[in-house]
Amino acid sequence: MIRLVLALLWLLHWLPLPVLAALGRGLGWVLWRVSKRRRRIALRNLALCFPHWSEAQRLAVGQAHFQWLGRGFLEHSLLWHASPARLRRLIHVEGEVDFADTHAGPVMWLTPHFVGLDVAGTAVQLYIRRRGCSIYQRQSNKAIDAALRRARERFGNVSLFSRHDTVKPLMRAIKDGMGFFNLPDMDFGAKDAAFVPFFGVPAATLLAPSRMARMLGMAVQPVVAELLPGGRGYRVRFLPPWTDFPTDDAVADTALLNQRLQAMIADMPAQYYWVHKRFKTRPPGEPPLY
């Protein structure tokens, strides 16, 4: 079954993007109706983060989010198989794209979990000369694991390091000049994390971005990807590097990171990854939220 899905993704990459986008929205419509568990998680997250919204507003954003999810899934066919020339036509980059190539020291690309996350990774590989690296979550299914690694490494200028291995090879790669593609905003438990506000709700947030940046003297540049409506392509914004991050207070840095992420989400709330249990880990003594 998995091999059939992978073959289908290869076939889909030949379609024009507007057609593929329409199919993705249709897939999202189906997922909204059949994936009750993920729908409940998304609506619970929206209720926690936007209590001032009406139920109708949260429902509308939740439904739109699933359509973006459907698009994001099917459009991986392009990211995995389309030619670099076609991807360059579809991915529109803005901002300080050349920062990593002109900055002499180590660079961290801070990339939140929007639906277009992998578009940002592709843009970094296509538009930036500096080699990159990232932490990789090994997949339990060998066919999926092999397909993901092959897709993410297909341009030959990125190295992936398993989350389950020691951090030493990753640190060495950064010291050798590779830019680090960092995903800062998922709940990985209380270890090496701080409970800092995310839309006013304490959320276990990794301290690693601040600690790594300070230890290695890294410049931190946010990169945000957006799927454009109507199959018009993608927009990837290379935002100005933060001049006040990191500091010697990792907890304060992490709270600031979440605060700035909230502002990014406000620009396109339906494209943030709401189906993740962002508040699964609770401070001691607090009841579960899901």
Residue 169 lies in a domain: yes
How confident is the model over 232-248, as pLDDT tens digits? Answer: 999 999 999 999 999 99
- Model confidence at 165, in pLDDT bands (50, 70, 90)? confident
- Asked if 94 and 88 count as a contact pair (C-beta separation under 8 A), the reply is no
Q: Checking DSSP bridges between strand 179-182 and strand 132-136, what pairing results, if any?
A: parallel
Residue 254 lies in a domain: yes
Show the domain range for 199: 84-271
Residue 287 lies in a domain: no
Residue 42 lies in a domain: no
Q: Is-cis flag, bond preceding 240, omega within 30?
A: no
What radius of gyration, in Å, describes the C-alpha atoms of the chain?
19
Number of separate domains in the chain = 1
Residue 141 lies in a domain: yes
Residue 13 lies in a domain: no
Question: CB neighbours of 230 closer than 8 A, spacing ≥ 6?
Answer: 18, 21
- Asked if 250 and 184 count as a contact pair (C-beta separation under 8 A), the reply is no
pTM metric for this prediction:
0.94
Scanning 128-271, the segments in alpha helix (DSSP H) are 142-152, 168-175, 208-216, 250-267
- Model confidence at 137, in pLDDT bands (50, 70, 90)? confident
- Model confidence at 114, in pLDDT bands (50, 70, 90)? very high
How confident is the model over 197-227, as pLDDT tens digits? Answer: 999 999 999 999 999 999 999 999 999 999 9
Residue 21 lies in a domain: no
How confident is the model over 73-92, as pLDDT tens digits? Answer: 999 999 999 999 999 999 99
The one-character DSSP state at 102 is H
Nearest-angstrom CA–CA distance, 134 and 156: 14
Residue 136, pLDDT score:
83
